[in-house]
Amino acid sequence: MRMSLPWRHALLALAVVAVWGSNFVVIKIALAALPPLTLAALRFALAFAPAALFIARPAVPWRLLAAYGLLIGAGQFGLLFVAMTRHITPGLASLVVQTQVFFTIALATLAQGERLRARQGAALVLAGAGLVLIGVRGGGEATPLGLALVLGAALAWAGGNTVSRRAGRVNMLAVVVWSSVFAVPPLLALSLLFEGPQAVAAGLARADAGTWAAVAWQALGNSLFGYAAWGWLLARHPAATVAPTALLVPVFGMGASAWWLHEPLPAWKLGAAALVVGGLALNLWPGRAAARH
């Protein structure tokens, strides 16, 4: 497998991280009305139905579909949505969850024997410096519980990445659709257990057109497009090449927050974004340059 992304694949990865980054503002809109676990259950229920009526089940063992649905659904988004209720701000959540990049590469190294090249290691250090700068200058915008929950979400995301790679070159849209059915029952059970039927009913009563549009965007934009495209890329390229692209998510997250929520963009934030972009350029550019000679 190549150690750099062809330009069309790089553009696809960029589109995915743009959707994921801007989604943190959309999540906050939905959480204004719905309890977090209820929101997660609705997201994956809508991702499964009615798409399953038109998309055949992929040629993937049920155990892989179940593992992917549990890791991405109940693991990543269940934990992330709970954290974003009052334990961490959207911008900082978009930053901390990107530790999935390092978890993904570590899992690939341990489970599949992929080797981390020196250039890629340097790129991760450079981009990681940008993340550290955001974390240091971001202020006390997260509780210890919030950080722990989002780190757990990042680890679950990395596990989902590993499962999707094991599925091989299959129809990842079908994988996302059919794995979503495994996310709904545990999320619904946890919602009823921890949030309670009254809170669920009250949230559904508060939901307006904007809330349901946010839920639809969670299912269609993030789940069906985002994770299907991401899994497609991971099936064709080493994790150490694809995963660092997700470090752009906080950049899009900060931009969306500045636009929709009017959050300021001081110089230190722009400097941190430059470090992240610089790390990505270091990861991708030398391989592209070498390919031309």
Specify the pLDDT at position 155.
Answer: 95
- pLDDT tens for 39-69 read 999 999 999 988 898 899 998 999 999 999 9
Task: Write down the pTM of the prediction.
Answer: 0.81
- pLDDT tens for 254-291 read 788 888 877 777 787 788 778 877 877 776 554 444 44
Q: Residue 3 above 70 pLDDT?
A: no
| Residue of higher predicted confidence among 98 and 219 | 219
Distance CA 248, CA 251 (A): 5
Specify the pLDDT at position 223.
Answer: 82
Specify the pLDDT at position 114.
Answer: 63
CA distances from 74 to 8, 40, 87 (A): 32, 8, 18
- pLDDT tens for 131-157 read 787 767 766 677 778 888 998 999 999
Two tokens, residue 218: 């969670």
Specify the pLDDT at position 290.
Answer: 42
Q: Which residues pair with 271 in a beta bridge?
A: none
Residues 6+ apart with CB under 8 A from 116: 105, 109, 240
As to burial, measured by CB atoms within 10 angstroms (0-12 exposed, 13-18 middle, 19+ buried), residue 37 is buried
| Residue of higher predicted confidence among 94 and 207 | 207
Least confidently predicted of 69-83, 138-152, 183-197: 138-152
Specify the pLDDT at position 67.
Answer: 96
Query: CA 21: distance to chain centroid?
Result: 8
